[in-house]
Amino acid sequence: MNDNRNRTPSISPAAVVVAAIFLLVSVIGINWFTSFVPVVLPPQASAESKSVDELFYVLVIIGGIVFFLIQGMLLISVIFFRAKSGDQSDGPNFHGNALLEIVWTIIPAGVVVFLAVLSFNVWMQNTEPKATVNLIDGDEVKINVSGARYAWTHTYQTGRIDPNGAQIVINSGDKLHTYIGQNIELELRTQDVIHSYWVPAMRVKQDLLPGNPATGGRPTDIRFTPVRVEGETYPASYPIVCAELCGDGHGRMTGEVIVYADESQFLQQFYEPAIYAIMNPPADPVLRGEILIQEYICNSCHILDSLGWTSRTGPSLNGIADRAGERVPGQSAEEYIVQSVWNSQAFVVPGYTEQMAAFGPDQPDANAMSAEQLYAITAFLCTQGEQTDCDIENQTVAIPAAINTAFGLDVDITFGQGDGAESDSSEAPDED
Amino acid sequence: MSTSISHRQKLKPRDQRVAALRLKNNRLGMSIFQVSWIMVFFALIVVNWQLRYSYAQWPPVGVPPFEPLLPSLATLALLCSTVFAQRGLAAFRGGQLPIFALRWRLTMALGSVFMALIAREFATVSAAALATQYGVTMRLMTGFHIVHALAILGVMLVVYRRALAGAYNGNEAAGWAVEGTAKLWHFVTVAWILFYVVLYWLC
Amino acid sequence: MATIAVPVGAQAEQNEQEAVRRPALSEYLRWSVDHKIIGVQYGISSFLFFLVGGAMAMGIRWELLTPALDLMVSGSAYNSLFTMHGTVMIFLFIIPMWAAFGNFVVPLQLGAKDMAFPWLNAFAFWLIPPAAIVILMGYFVTPAEAGWTSYPPLSTLFSGDGQTLWALGAHLLGISSIMGSINFIVTILNMRPESMTLWRMPLLCWAVLATSIIAVMATPFLAGALTLLLLDRVAGTTFFDAAGGGDVLLWQNIFWFYSHPAVYIMVLPGMGVLSEVLSIHSRKPVFGYRMVGLSSMGIAFVGFTVWAHHMFTSLQPELRIPFMITTMIIAVPTGIKMFSWLGTIWGGKIRFTSAMLFALGFLSMFVIGGITGVMLAALPFDIHVHDTYFVVSHFHFVLFGGSVFAIYAALYHWFPKVTGRMMNEQLGRIHFVFTYFGFLFTFFPMHIVGMLGMPRRVAVYDPSFTQWNQLIGLSAFVLGFSTFIVIYNVIRSYYRGPIAGANPWRALTLEWATTSPPPVTNFIDDPIPYEDPYGYGTEAATAYLDAVDESFRNGRPASGGH
């Protein structure tokens, strides 16, 4: 098209000097940034986090080279190739250079292939199946995580048996307890919408997908192995975060991973005390209720000052015992509380929406609540008030017939029996 | 999209150029529209395909598979109708209006037979099938298709009557309405064949 | 050796009054099939939505100044706010804004009298106001609060009627986008002058062609997805409800099959603008013209194979690797463009006009979005930062650092052609400085809070991130303020800017070979394009430009122009 299309634009020596200086600055800059990396990432608390971070260093170094290369060329152009004032002429009629174009196609292609291979290796390494998982006291214990708007619930399906011959299940609420070197494998299930289980310090994340309850939901897995972090005091705590928008309280849907220094500390400080507490529940139903209510996700939506709950999605539980008797005409305070838990949609407090899940024997996973547990929780809530209307002594709360029918149950709760385990409940099936 | 300008008078060269460009634009525009809109049908096929994985088998356990006989007859009717639509277009271009009229009446009749048969299929999905995505996606796909077929059949009827009234005589550009309608009908045919294969044969 | 083709545009009978003889403002408020009117209609309405979406962003940052929920009454209120912010910015601002420039500039660059289907063009535009009303109305009933991605079951079983209206509005906008794109493809392929082969076409046309191909192929998938969402919401079907045999990942697959290519719908025209602006304002041909044009097509094609990287934390693990690889590959054509642009300005004679500043700003910011894009493609690292502020930062570097900077560059570049008057360059520079640094300090720190553990879409966050968020918030207010500078500049320049003349930038493409603003038929006769749209630096080109100036000289006041 034109004779001077292959004329290379002249590059002044000054540009070369600037380029050299810029190169130097870039190298220093990249070095500086990589030293900055620990500040921009959470502690490396898992084996996986180390390899992910190594990949991140590589990405940052290559990205840094590209960044400084392009900004540098931009800077040089801006400084040296600006039109002199009054110069109305055009630049050189230079249309391109095939070799250069091939180079800047091939090199980036090579770089991304390299990064893909590297990422693939890290991925395979991190997802490699472990010989043993969730090893506790010589047993592989199944740990389930339930996500519900807006809280996590962790349950340990232990190998221990309670005096009645039932398997002991430890419910540790929003906390996952583990110890250094334990290969954790969690089975995640959601009760409602999509959630995402993220432990930033472990660099792991997995969505919880709604599945068909009739076929056992759609469990997903997440695996990691906690490792020792320099300078950390154990037991150490790392946040769990919900990373997929799940509604009103999404930002509050958090939890903690508690990492113990070793298995014996884990057993001593968490596991054995938890089992002991289950085997020896307090005689006072109020105390049992206070423990139990914290195992469920009530705190994700309700305010209750005595337990430090602050969420405002649902109505406040402060002084609930004073109001419960007046909410529904014809219902006593304790009847109302029982109904609000067991059949939560039957009455929605004005000003709030129908968000609350139901808890009862017919509910799956983390929403399962036996009649005895409901009794204890009701007893506890009945103490939350100034002049409590509740009468938890010597009184039988008849579960409304409609609820009993709906759940196929025949249950009444009798208050005031010292031994809560003997509430007047027929054994409800675990799953319906 | 279809322009229907009647060119009775002799066209000046510049106008001829404009008319030729308009025809060229219409043809290309129609092709792009067809390629574009067929993607919705592909999207519904993806829906059907992915939902199959929610079930252990397809059709799901306890659901009788659809009987392919009537839909096959309907497909045959539709195929014949699309051939008649094309042959009718050829006759129209050749200036043989009565032959065009006959062929397009056949097109519309066969198209109606097709729609009646598919509507019957739509209406008689078993309750067992409707309880699963097997029946629901079938209704989604056939319903979505029928809406298109019905709309285009309506256009065809209008264009047919106007063509017989002489609205599109003159030149190729003016006859675009007939050509475009025939092409839309071909689109309906292609879209249906995709659905037909997915719904009745790929199980 | 090149022949000097004198443009046969609106001839030299223009006087000063005519130089700014513009359509009456009322023309813009009614139905018109003139592509220039429609272009401005698109532009003004999109910019108004930019202000609406921007005001929402200010509300979001206001809320996030403190870790607790204070400005909003509830988390839901916050959720619906960012849902509308995303929807408005994507569907009502960026996509229609490119239709604005495409409409105004593409037919002019092709020397065409109008688009291929003028009526369809107007119809596509007039679908936007009702769609916008439907979507915004939803905000005042029970607003959609599932994010612009509207993942079920949050958007089906747990949302109010606003979600239904959202889906209806998005449906209309999708149809508008498909019709507009068909129009662009036909115009570009059929309505070029005979001497303008595809390889002599301005790169904006290449970019708009690639964009439109993506839009016609991908948008129907959005239509499919929205149809299912509507059926689930109003007709009781269970396509996304697992309890009824549905699948929540179905939505994610179909939605992202549209919405990932939609990212390129939003950024490719900006890349076309960049090729124009960088070449013209550094007075040098586009480096590697063919590769720049082809890489648009490459991005369009590869863009269809990467959607599932948005699902790295929900997809079956064995399917994640292939999508990582395709996502990495798409960096290559983008890299070709970056380097070609640098090659374009390298050795040129750069004029620091406002348009050029924003184009350089694009180069400097978009590269960060590109780098973080590759980082996000790296599956193990993505697992950590998926759905965090790192992602928020990444896509704002692409869509603000990319698209919005390019929109501003295009505004300063073509404003003289649209209105016949120049923008104020001094205000343009001030606007650039505020925007550039406001943007950088708003969005760069988001990378860090994301990596440290702050998820996106939260109204309450860990107090340890407070200082970062305050820095982000204050910078965001600076960025928000910068918008008023350009609004003032546009209004002031519309009435009082210097007369631009036909070709203030001395550009070779055809839109500058007619009066500013162009007459209704654009050109009096069929214009003949210069043989090379970017052939700066030859005597032939200079002679051509002088000839253009000469033929419009009578219309140019001695004091006007540039």
pLDDT in tens, B127-151: 999 999 999 999 999 999 999 999 9
DSSP state of A234: S
Pair A116, A16 in one domain: yes
Least CB-CB distance to C348: which of A81, A108, A193? A81
A250 and A298 belong to one structural domain: no
Residue A194 and residue A308 in one domain: no
pLDDT at C1 over 60: no
Structure tokens that stand for A252 in this block: 């509050």
Residue of chain A with shortest Cα separation from C77: A248
Residues C559 and C487 in one domain: no
Judge whether A239 and A254 are in contact, CB under 8 Å: yes
The verdict on A109 and A229 lying in the same domain is: no
Please confirm whether the linkage preceding A285 is cis (ω < 30° from 0): no
Q: How far is CA C548 from CA B71, B155, C128, C530, in A?
A: 65, 49, 38, 11
pLDDT attached to residue C20: 60
Region of C422 (left: φ > 0; alpha: ψ -120 to 50; beta: rest) is: beta
Judge if C14 and C70 occupy the same domain.
Answer: no
In chain C, whose CA is at the least distance from the CA of A79?
C350
Interface contact B43-C217, CB threshold 8 A:
no
Residue A405 shares a structural domain with residue A289: yes
* pLDDT above 70 for A37: no
Instruction: Tell me, yes or no, whether C508 and C488 share the same domain.
Output: no
Q: Above pLDDT 70, what percent of chain A?
A: 84
- Please indicate whether, in this complex, the C-beta atoms of C76 and A242 are within 8 angstroms of each other: no
Strand, coil or helix: A197: strand
Whether residue A85 lies inside any domain: the answer is: no
Asked if residue A297 and residue A274 are part of one domain, the reply reads no
pLDDT digits (tens, 9 = 90+) for C255-283: 999 999 999 999 999 999 999 999 999 99
A176 phi-psi bin (left φ>0, alpha ψ -120 to 50, beta other): beta
- pLDDT(B5) > 60: no
Secondary structure element (H or E) that encloses residue A221, with its range: strand A220-224
The reported pLDDT for the residue numbered A1 is 40
Instruction: Provide the 3-class DSSP secondary structure of residue C497.
Output: coil
Contacts of A351 (CB under 8 A, 6+ apart): A315
* Domain limits for position B60: 13-201
Q: Is it true that the peptide bond before C445 is cis, omega within 30 degrees of 0?
A: no
In a domain, B3, yes or no: no
- Top residue of C3, C232, C328 to mutate, by most chain A CBs within 10 Å, is C328
Contact C182 B36 (CB under 8 A): yes
Q: Domain for residue B133, yes or no?
A: yes
Q: Is C8 on the interface with A (CB under 8 A)?
A: no
pLDDT at A398: 53
Claim to verify: residue C314 and residue C423 sit in the same structural domain: yes
C313 and C220 assigned to the same domain: yes
Q: Do C538 and A248 touch (CB under 8 A)?
A: no
Which chain B positions have a beta carbon within 8 Å of C250's beta carbon?
47, 50-51
Is pTM beyond 0.90? Reply is no
Is the pLDDT at C85 greater than 80, yes or no?
yes
Angle at A78 between CA A75 and CA A84, to 5 degrees: 155
Q: Do C221 and B144 touch (CB under 8 A)?
A: no
Residues A64 and A187 reside in one and the same domain:
no
Does B4 map to a domain? Answer: no
Q: Confidence class of residue A420 from pLDDT cuts 50, 70 and 90? A: very low
Query: How far away is chain C from the Cα of B47, in angstroms, using its nearest Cα?
Result: 7
Domain end, chosen from A278, A312, A341, is at: A278
SS3 assignment, position C257: helix
Domain housing A248: 135-278
Task: Please give, rounded to a whole number of angstroms, the shortest distance from the CA of C267 to a CA of chain A.
Answer: 19
Of C498, C522, C546, the domain-final residue? C498
Q: How far is C245 from chain B (nearest CA, A)?
A: 6
Asked if C238 lies within 8 A of B136 by C-beta distance, the reply is yes
Boundary (domain end) residue, out of A249, A278, A307? A278
The percentage of chain B sitting over the pLDDT mark of 70, rounded to a whole number, equals 93
Measured torsion, CA atoms of residues C119, C403, C204, C519, in degrees rounded to the nearest 10 = 50
A23 to chain C, minimum CA–CA distance in Å?
A: 17
Please tell me which of the candidates B1, B51, B144 has its beta carbon nearest to residue C247.
B51
Helices A47-80 and A13-40: crossing angle in degrees, nearest 10, is: 150
* Interchain proximity C245–B132, CB inside 8 Å: yes
Lowest mean pLDDT among A43-47, A300-304, B126-130, C236-240: A300-304
Partners of residue C362 in chain A, C-beta under 8 Å: none
Cβ-defined contact of C284 to A104 (cutoff 8 Å):
no
Is the CB of A66 less than 8 angstroms away from the CB of C331? no
Give me the pLDDT at residue C494, please. 93
Q: Per-residue confidence at B15, pLDDT binned at 50, 70, 90? A: confident
pLDDT score at A34:
63
The pLDDT assigned to A395 comes to: 56
A77, pLDDT greater than 80? yes
Residue A181 lies in a domain: yes
Say yes or no: C178 contacts chain B, CB-CB below 8 A: yes
DSSP label at residue A144:
E
**A202 against A369, higher pLDDT:** A202
Determine which of B5, B37, B46, B47 to mutate to test the interface with C (most C C-beta atoms within 10 Å). B47
**What is the average per-residue pLDDT within C159-188?**
95
A68 CA: distance to closest CA in chain C (Å): 10
Is the preceding omega at residue C536 within 30 degrees of 0, hence cis? no
- The number of folded domains in chain B is 1
Residue A121 parent element (H or E): helix A98-127
Chain C residues touching B137 at Cβ < 8 A: 239
Q: Could A1 and C2 be called an inter-chain contact, meaning their C-beta atoms sit closer than 8 Å? A: yes
Contact A77 C345 (CB under 8 A): yes
Residues C511 and C364 in one domain: no
Q: Residues A103-144: pLDDT tens digits?
A: 999 999 999 999 999 999 999 999 888 999 999 988 899 999
Both A211 and A313 in a single domain? no
d(CA A271, CA A262): 12
- Per-residue pLDDT reduced to its tens digit, C111-159: 999 999 999 999 999 999 999 999 999 898 888 999 999 999 999 988 8
Is residue A300 domain-shared with residue A263, that is, in the same domain? no
Check residue C141 and give its pLDDT. 87
Q: Check A243 against C76: CB less than 8 A apart.
A: no
Inter-chain residue contact A82 with C381, CB threshold 8 Å: no
In this structure, the answer to whether residues C311 and C435 fall within a common structural domain is yes
Residues A225 and A257 in one domain: yes
Residue at a domain's end among A220, A249, A278:
A278
Residues 6+ apart with CB under 8 A from A366: A146, A148, A153, A155, A171, A191, A296, A297
What CATH number is attached to the domain comprising B145?
1.20.120.80
Checking if the pLDDT of C254 tops 70, the result is yes
**Which C-chain residues 221-280 have CB contacts (< 8 A) with chain A?**
241-243, 245, 248-249
pLDDT of residue C203: 96
* Contact residues, C window 185-224, toward A, CB-based 8 Å cutoff: none
* Lateral strand order in the sheet of A254-260: A175-179, A254-260, A236-242, A195-199, A204-208
Residue A167, judged by CB atoms within 10 A of its CB (0-12, 13-18, 19+), counts as: exposed
Q: Could you tell me which of C56, C84, C83 has the C-alpha nearest to residue C71?
A: C56
Tally of domains within chain A: 3
Q: Span A188-200, mean pLDDT?
A: 94
CB contact under 8 A, C116 and B39: no
For residue B7, tell me if it sits in a domain: no
Nearest chain C Cα distance for residue A238, angstroms: 11
B32·C216 Cβ contact <8 A: yes
Going from the C-alpha of B11 to that of each of B20, B93, B179, C550, the distances in angstroms are 11, 18, 21, 37
Mark whether A109 and A194 lie in a shared domain: no
Q: Give the count of alpha carbons within 13 A of A40, CB side only.
A: 20
Is A246 close to C145, i.e. CB distance below 8 A?
no
Residues sharing a CB contact under 8 Å with residue B58, sequence separation 6 or more, in sequence order: B52, B134, B203
Same domain, yes or no, for C430 and C529? no
pLDDT 10s digits, C30-74: 999 999 999 999 999 999 999 999 999 999 999 999 999 888 888
Q: How many domains does chain C have?
A: 2
- Band (pLDDT 50/70/90 cuts) for residue A48 is very high
Confidence label for A412 from pLDDT (cuts 50, 70 and 90): low
CATH of the domain at C295: 1.20.210.10
Check C186 against B44: CB less than 8 A apart: no
How confident is the model at residue C14, as a pLDDT?
A: 45
C525 — pLDDT class (breaks 50, 70, 90): confident
Q: What is the mean pLDDT of residues C436-462?
A: 94
User: Residues of B near C (CB-CB distance < 8 A)?
Assistant: 1, 21, 24-25, 28-29, 32-33, 35-40, 42-44, 46-47, 50-51, 53-55, 60, 132-133, 136-137, 140, 144
Whether the predicted pLDDT of C8 surpasses 60: no
Higher pLDDT, A301 or A178: A178
Q: Where are the alpha helices (DSSP H) in C314-400?
A: 320-329, 331-345, 354-377, 379-385, 389-398
Among C182, C220, C246, beta carbon nearest to B43:
C220
Nearest Cα of chain C lies from the Cα of B98 at a distance, in angstroms, of 32
Question: Quick one: DSSP state of residue C312?
Answer: T
pLDDT of residue C142: 86
Same domain? C412 vs C491: yes
> What is the domain extent for residue C521?
1-20+503-562
Tell me which residue in C220, C237, C250 faces B40 most closely, judged by beta carbons. C220
Same domain, C136 and C185: yes
Using CB atoms, list chains with 3+ pairs below 8 Å to chain B: C
Looking at chain C, the whole-number percentage of residues with pLDDT higher than 90 is 83
Q: Tell whether A265 and A360 lie within a shared domain.
A: no
CA distance to partner chain C, nearest, from residue B3 (Å): 10
Pair (C12, C40) in one structural domain: no
Tell me whether residue A184 is in a domain: yes
Segment holding C267, helix H or strand E: helix C248-281
Question: Is B8 part of a structural domain of the chain?
Answer: no
Residue B106 forms part of a structural domain:
yes
pLDDT digits (tens, 9 = 90+) for B169-185: 767 777 899 999 999 99
Here the CATH number for the domain that contains residue A233 is 2.60.40.420
* Listed residues C498, C527, C550: the one ending a domain: C498
Residues in chain C with CB shorter than 8 Å from the CB of A190 are none
pLDDT of residue A261: 95
Q: What is the ipTM for the molecules in this complex?
A: 0.90
Specify the pLDDT at position A418: 42
The pLDDT confidence band at residue A205, using thresholds 50, 70 and 90, is very high
Q: Cα–Cα distance between C537 and A387 in angstroms, integer?
A: 91
